[in-house]
Structure 1
Amino acid sequence: MQQHLPAPTCPPLDELRSVHLVGIGGTAMTPLATILLQMGKQVSGSDVSDVPWLARLRELGAHVFIGHDPEHVGDVDAVIISSAVSMDNVEVRAAQARRLPIMKHSAALGSLMGRRRGIAVAGTHGKTTTTALLATVLDVAGADPTFHVGSELVAYGLFGKHGRGDLLVAEADEFDRRFLDYDPELAVVTSVEPDHLDYFGSVEAVVSAFEAFLARIRPGGAAILCADDPVARALPSGNVERTTYGLAPDAHWRLQEWNPVDRDRGAFKLRCPDGTIESFVLGLRGRHNAVNAAAVVAAAAHLGVHMPDIRRGLEAFAGTRRRFEIVGAALGVTIVDDYAHHPTAIHVTLQAARDHFRTAVWAIFQPHTAHRTASLQAEFAISFENADHVLIVPTYRPPGREVEASDPTIDALLAAMHHPDARSLSAADAAEFVAESVQPGDLVLVMGAGDIWQIEKDILAGLQRRSSRPA
């Protein structure tokens, strides 16, 4: 009988010379690859398809392959794999046969955090924006942090950056319990709601994972929790310092006032723990992002950043891709791309559209896994109340999580919504229908965590064709 020797232990990532990333185009793998390249590592990687942000990795020096092949695993010190990559992947098998160290993405990021002052931002929603905003504030303040974000920061043109400072700011994803590979000095929890129940199995398991995450905070560290979320605020934090933020009257950092300034910015006032009131202008839309900014102010203040520098950082923030990103306009219609795929995220995004644009709102939504739609149907049914028109396209099913099959969840959701204008169409038909139906001044929000963003160019093209027709 064949013997399987234990896999070799991977040395700390800082000490490696070269790595190969299987699934390099993922939104978690891309920032890691960027950091490693900027550290001077030799980086190669592969993915099943090309995506726009891989061009930037190639510019930085990565050798990127499209498709998987054992020959892609060259003379490297270790192989890092995405959570979406199976151990049966041909490149993973090749690495095993050669006795190369193999680690998951979260273990690799945890290795980097282990040698730095880690700041991990977790939560069912809000973590990408909060991580990116905190990284920007710290960078503007001169801390030169390393950052790892699951979306491209517009001002940097990057998902990640290797800084010379001792801080590492990282988005901490709960799926696959990835955040349990991190040992932060400072942990932020924006929200804890039912999600990824196809993986966790129960809400109790979700909460338990977040409890375990906070238990990994280093001695002498701190937890910053959203006081508006009943589960997040109740999480035990052990003996570390505990701070809360939000709209709740008893929050240590309390958001007292928020108003939209224009279509792009909001202004808010924050009561600090010492009772003083600070005013800020934020280049993000929606009250929910002012709450995220309150978390950033609390975290930055804890790290010793002075309030004027925090204010400059918030004003300098230019946003991230796929978070209320205006991708174009034609015929007086604005097209917005957004990652929202959880009911709460959909609700607050549509509310932000109402607050800042005050016009007719079209929502094109691509569900992300049929399991999520079914398990959160009641929540999804009421999340579109701020949209005038709703179009739901076929569900995106991530490889390895769900197989393509008939999906009754969309019809069930439409029946539960009781919305005056909601319908189900293919993605192509939705793009055509919207391009022909919208009126000048309308706002079109394309929402989902899958590949729905690809129809935005079709909507814009349809609008341009319509505008060129004779009156």
Structure 2
Amino acid sequence: MRLPVPEVVPGVAELGRVHFVGIGGAGLSAIARIMAARGVEVTGSDDHDTPFLPSLRELGVTCHLGYDPAHLGDLGPGDSVVVTTAAREDNPEVLEARRRGLRLLPRSAGLASVMADRRVLAVAGTHGKTTTTSLLTVALLACDADPTYAVGGVLSATGRNADAGAGDLFVAEADESDGAFLVYRPHAAIVTNVGADHLDTWGTEEAYRAAFAEFVGTIDADGFLVACVDDPGAEALRPLAAARGLELVGVGEGEHADLRAVDVVLEGTTSSFTVVDRGHELGRVRLAIPGRHYVLDALAALGVGLRLGLPFEGLRTGLEGFGGTGRRMESKGEAGGVRVYDSYAHQPIEIAGDLEAARSVAGEGRVVVAFQPHLVSRTRLFGAGMGAALGAADEVVVCDVYLAREDADPAVTGALVADHVPLAPERVAFVPDLDDVPAALVARARPGDLVLTLGAGSITEVGPRVLALLREGSGG
């Protein structure tokens, strides 16, 4: 559901009581948590329980399961309803809110309302937003900046995806999928990369890229932009920033970057690199997460912290203590000599990056992957590229498309992805039913291997079931 953003987004004090339709999602649960921590009376509903709800309930937030007009209680004039973009047009709570004349806000406006009195640091990009937002948050925490933050995953350092800090900084994952990132008016921003995605919203790749150009135009005139300039799409924003008089800090491995990562070493579950700032060596950083793409994410976070005047040593301490974010190369455990990881990657570039990291972690073992395509529209456009990227694994299982907010299309299934995996046929399987995937993975895995589940949908449920089967098989 696409709701318009008000011309003037009301501040938190003007919202009255707030009900969230889709409160279990990463985005809405973060906003709800910050509002509740600031004393707003918050309730919400979702169609299923999620990992974000227990911590909300601990704050006293009533979280209903299922959608029912009664869940709005006695909300009336002056109260507000924040609605997820995944809501259907016939959602009974939205229809009831309209009948009562309640203020209806999209997610972006809800988040903007809690940003109003803070300096916003917005993290945007086609890939890497959640990890970069998380890295920036822990780096600032290590420097005692006490930021408010809203992340699209659970931060291992706090066990939460959001907190209302006492400092003046607000770190926000700025999502482009529905145009939300054009609402926030940040003091500073990171753009990790610009490729092509969410064409169900933007229509064309040109329109998608133009949205990032517009995003640069929303940054405060006295602010700055950090761009990962190894990526051509992010590098293309340089003249736009210059035209506005914005300082641009280019980060990357290339010599054209202002802040560089050199001597990058990927070893097991770690990544290390030396930081060079305009020719001056600052020191070496050793991350406890694997993958070259995470090195660039950390470098971008470092770029913001340094530009804010924070000390390198403090920022490095935060980055090196980062233990990851839920669903970003997250270890689920080990059984029968097989390690199991889960990650959110659902685009070809993301898949390639996580498989490179998995290869580093696996060492001499093989990489066995289960992938769940996300959205019919995305699979139609990028399914062949997804399959090609999966060819970096040793064994591949592809299940059917996770529909999310879309209807099924019999012409677009997981088979489209599986058919484009460049491996021998016996090493690739299309297993449509998710319930059959755990057994298919166990049948392929052997001691020493790494099993990786990939996708933005329900594939995350598979890892624990694989571990359970492996324990049964080993008698553990």
Q: TM-score range by the shorter chain?
A: over 0.9
| Cα distance in 1 for residues equivalent to 2:32 and 2:372 | 28
C-alpha displacement of 1:379:
2.2
SS at 1:270 equivalent: strand
- Which residue number corresponds to residue 378 of structure 2? 372
- Which residue number corresponds to residue 459 of structure 1? 466
Mark the CA change 1:89 to 1:409 in structure 2 (over 3 Å): closer, same or farther. Answer: closer
| Cα distance in 2 for residues equivalent to 1:99 and 1:378 | 46
Alignment of 1:247-326 (within 5 A): 247-261=253-267, 263-326=268-331
1:360 aligns with 2:366: yes
C-alpha displacement of 1:15:
4.3
- Which residue number corresponds to residue 445 of structure 2? 438
Residue type at the aligned position of 1:434: L
Please tell me whether the aligned partners of residues 188 and 224 of structure 2 are also in contact (alpha carbons under 8 angstroms): yes
- Which residue number corresponds to residue 349 of structure 2? 344
| Cα distance in 1 for residues equivalent to 2:420 and 2:443 | 27
TM-score for both structures, normalised by structure 1: 0.94
Please tell me whether the aligned partners of residues 9 and 101 of structure 1 are also in contact (alpha carbons under 8 angstroms): no
Alignment of 1:122-133 (within 5 A): 122-133=124-135
SS at 1:176 equivalent: coil
Q: Deviations over 1:264-288 (max 9, x none)?
A: 3221112112522421111211111
1:416 aligns with 2:420: yes
- Which residue number corresponds to residue 3 of structure 2? none
Aligned equivalent of 1:136, options 138, 152, 158: 138
1:241 aligns with 2:243: no
Aligned equivalent of 2:332, options 327, 331, 334: 327
Q: What is the root-mean-square deviation of aligned Cα atoms in Å?
A: 1.7
Q: Deviations over 1:402-422 (max 9, x none)?
A: 212424443333333231211
| Cα distance in 2 for residues equivalent to 1:201 and 1:29 | 25
Q: Deviations over 1:197-232 (max 9, x none)?
A: 122111001101111111000110101111111011
Q: Deviations over 1:301-348 (max 9, x none)?
A: 011110110111111212110000011110010110100000000001
Q: Name the stretch that deviates more: 368-377 or 386-395.
A: 368-377
Residue type at the aligned position of 1:311: R
Alignment of 1:204-223 (within 5 A): 204-223=206-225
- Which residue number corresponds to residue 12 of structure 1? 11
For these two proteins, the number of residue pairs brought into alignment is 460
C-alpha displacement of 1:124:
0.7
Aligned equivalent of 1:180, options 179, 182, 188: 182
Please tell me whether the aligned partners of residues 189 and 219 of structure 2 are also in contact (alpha carbons under 8 angstroms): yes
Alignment of 1:192-203 (within 5 A): 192-203=194-205
| Cα distance in 2 for residues equivalent to 1:167 and 1:9 | 22
C-alpha displacement of 1:160:
0.3
Q: Name the stretch that deviates more: 379-388 or 251-260.
A: 379-388
| Cα distance in 2 for residues equivalent to 1:152 and 1:49 | 18
| Cα distance in 2 for residues equivalent to 1:71 and 1:53 | 23
Alignment of 1:101-112 (within 5 A): 101-112=103-114
Please tell me whether the aligned partners of residues 83 and 105 of structure 1 are also in contact (alpha carbons under 8 angstroms): yes
- Which residue number corresponds to residue 3 of structure 1? none
Please tell me whether the aligned partners of residues 272 and 278 of structure 1 are also in contact (alpha carbons under 8 angstroms): no
C-alpha displacement of 1:18:
2.4
| Cα distance in 2 for residues equivalent to 1:189 and 1:16 | 31
Gaps of 5+ in 1: 1-6
| Cα distance in 2 for residues equivalent to 1:38 and 1:94 | 27
C-alpha displacement of 1:98:
2.2
Please tell me whether the aligned partners of residues 176 and 199 of structure 1 are also in contact (alpha carbons under 8 angstroms): yes
Q: Deviations over 1:230-273 (max 9, x none)?
A: 01111222221111101121100111111134x33221112112
C-alpha displacement of 1:296:
0.8
Please tell me whether the aligned partners of residues 25 and 50 of structure 2 are also in contact (alpha carbons under 8 angstroms): no
Residue type at the aligned position of 2:339: T
Q: Deviations over 1:122-175 (max 9, x none)?
A: 011101000011011101101100000000001211010000000000000101
Residue type at the aligned position of 1:142: D
| Cα distance in 1 for residues equivalent to 2:353 and 2:177 | 22
TM-score for both structures, normalised by structure 2: 0.93
Gaps of 5+ in 2: 1-5
- Which residue number corresponds to residue 62 of structure 1? 61
Residue type at the aligned position of 1:136: V
- Which residue number corresponds to residue 4 of structure 1? none
C-alpha displacement of 1:87:
4.7
Residue type at the aligned position of 1:143: A
- Which residue number corresponds to residue 399 of structure 2? 393
- Which residue number corresponds to residue 157 of structure 1? 159
State the percentage of identical aligned residues.
38
SS at 2:392 equivalent: coil
